[in-house]
Amino acid sequence: MSETANADAPPGPRHGPAPAPPRPRRRRSSDTAADGLFHVLAAGAGYLVLGILLAAALSMLWGGRKAFATFGLHFFTSTQWDAVAQKFGAVVPIYGTVVSSTIAIIIAVPISLGIAIFLTEIAPRWLRVPVGTAIELLAAIPSIIYGMWGLFVFVPFMATYIQPWLIAHLGPLPAFGALFRGAPIGIGMLTAGIILAIMIIPFITAVMRDVFLAVPNGLKDGCIAMGSTTWEVIRHVVLPYTRSAVIGAIFLGLGRALGETMAVTFVLGNTHDLKLSLLEPGNSIAATLANEFTEADSDMYLSSLIALGFVLFLVTLVTLAIAKLLLLTVDQRKLQRR
């Protein structure tokens, strides 16, 4: 009886000293050396990027020193671009770059946002992959193809249908109409902005789609369980959760538009005339560099073109800095709400 009870009873605590805790593994000298090497390589890669950025800026500043020394601040306020008289000003290229990129962003952002929302929240599963693949293929098309298509297909369409309608219906307006006056020749600021919008839509859409897919399903399911509609889920969950990434995608597209060369060169008109109308030909910094760099037959001409490149560098840098500040502001607001 006692033997059976002892057999059925749970085993008691083991007598004797408790086992010692495992000793932490001592780091070998090879591990320490590997960590140090990794730290040096990673830090070197980061400093290398800063060094290349600084070297590019200094090289362009040095190349444009003659133009800056000769014209001074007048280089940023003059509309004159006369290679014969050796007088150069950057207002027209800067104006064309900013206006065409602004038009592209105004057109591309709503379309990209709509496509990304459709692919992630509305489209059936069998349609998401083909449309997403098509968007990625559009991003892979070279810019010169967009430029040739714009010149031979889109410019005649604009000259035949779009620009005459804009001139007839919007041109007579008191103040706003000044943007839509001129001859319907097809090329111009508006055409260049639309071509740029078509080019940057795939980039913005791809980033937005990826960040929308990263939203946790639990947040969306909880919102739906409370009776929210699809639009309410998008408005109150998806967009607030991805606000920072969406802003980053928009400025990524803007940076692409600011530096675009060949597509704009084909359809912008490439004239150094400052005109308010969006239907008139104009110029941009990138198009000016592409068209006139091989024709620079004097040191002043070449220095002015390099100075334009430095201006484009500054414009892009300021744009990215504004994007970074916006992202920091959004992140701080999120932390304050929490």
* Per-residue pLDDT tens digits for 61-113: 999 999 999 998 899 988 999 888 889 999 999 999 999 999 999 999 999 99
Q: How confident is the model at residue 310 (pLDDT cuts 50, 70, 90)?
A: very high
Averaged pLDDT for residues 39-54: 92
The one-character DSSP state at 221 is H
Helices (H), the chain: 2-8, 29-63, 65-71, 91-117, 125-140, 143-149, 155-157, 163-169, 189-213, 217-225, 230-233, 239-241, 243-258, 262-267, 285-292, 299-337
Q: Is the pLDDT of residue 223 over 50?
A: yes
Element (H, E) at 235: none
pLDDT at 84: 87
Strand 87-88 relative to strand 81-82, pairing: antiparallel
Instruction: Say what the pTM is.
Output: 0.84
Bridge partners of residue 88, in order along the sequence: 81
C-alpha count within 13 angstroms, C-beta hemisphere, residue 265: 15
pLDDT at 334: 64
pLDDT at 33: 80
Q: How confident is the model at residue 2 (pLDDT cuts 50, 70, 90)?
A: very low
- Residue 260's nearest CA partner among 192, 187, 158 is 192
pLDDT at 330: 67
pLDDT at 273: 87
- Do 138 and 201 touch, CB atoms closer than 8 A? yes
Give the tokens for residue 137.
């293929």
Bridge partners of residue 87, in order along the sequence: 82
pLDDT at 83: 87
- Do 212 and 120 touch, CB atoms closer than 8 A? yes
State how far the Cα of 288 lies from the Cα of 272, in Å rounded to an integer. 9
Domains of the chain: 64-337 (1.10.3720.10)
Q: Is the pLDDT of residue 180 over 70?
A: yes
Averaged pLDDT for residues 129-152: 90
The torsion angles phi and psi of 82, rounded to 5 degrees, stand at -120, 105
* Distance of alpha carbon 26 from the chain centroid: 48
pLDDT at 105: 95
pLDDT at 166: 94
State how far the Cα of 288 lies from the Cα of 151, in Å rounded to an integer. 18
Q: How confident is the model at residue 15 (pLDDT cuts 50, 70, 90)?
A: low
Tokens 């111009």 map to which residue? 188
Q: How confident is the model at residue 3 (pLDDT cuts 50, 70, 90)?
A: very low
- Residue 277's nearest CA partner among 194, 191, 188, 193 is 188
State how far the Cα of 301 lies from the Cα of 193, in Å rounded to an integer. 28
Q: Is the pLDDT of residue 327 over 80?
A: no
pLDDT at 1: 44
Helix (H, G, I), strand (E, B) or coil at 216: coil
- Do 204 and 250 touch, CB atoms closer than 8 A? yes
